[in-house]
Amino acid sequence: MPDLATGERVVVTRDAAETRDLASRLAATARPGDLLCLVGDLGAGKTQFAKGFAVGLGIDDVVSSPTFVLMTEYAGRLPMFHLDLYRIADAADALAGGLLDERQSEGVALVEWAERLGEALPAARLDVFIDGVGDDERRITLRAAAPDYLRYLEAAA
């Protein structure tokens, strides 16, 4: 059960398929303007999570890590903006590069390495902390930073 008092829920997935399935279930509750901040080490499964979320939005395109292009936009039930800030030093670089803009209010933004935005992160968001690498199971902590994002915790059941 999600802890609605703390706005947090922990889910354990045993493999990439389970991580994608969890994200697909969460996507069913997505609304325009939602922001999901994906945090985890290299190989933790952030891109696997994004792939599953895309499936849940009805996106047929192949989703891959946008590390070298920084942002990829996909068309589905809602547009999905998949950002990867791995090569960005800080929020100033992301803002100067135009990675965050008003178009994202029409869809859902999934931001890998979101912690690089620091204080520039909007208050309203879902933080997705993914712990584990390689073939190990993943401990995925969903933290709703605003009451409207509690729906994601409920969808994780």
pLDDT digits 0-9 by tens, 135-152: 789 999 999 999 999 999
- SS3 call for 73: strand
CATH, domain 8-155, list 3.30.70.141, 3.40.50.1370, 3.30.1360.170, 3.40.50.300: 3.40.50.300
What is the helix, strand, coil percentage profile of the chain, to 5?
30, 25, 45
Per-residue pLDDT, averaged over 11-23, amounts to 95
Does residue 97 or residue 59 have the better pLDDT? 59
Domain ranges for the chain, please list them: 8-155
What is the structure's pLDDT at 130? Answer: 96
The whole-angstrom separation of Cα 27 and Cα 129 is 17
In whole numbers, what is the pLDDT of the chain averaged over residues?
83
| pLDDT one-digit tens code per residue, 94-138 | 454 445 555 656 789 898 877 767 776 778 899 999 998 777 899
Following DSSP, what letter does each residue of 1-64 receive, concatenated?
Answer: --BTTTTEEEEEESSHHHHHHHHHHHHTT--TT-EEEEE--TTSSHHHHHHHHHHHTT--SPP-
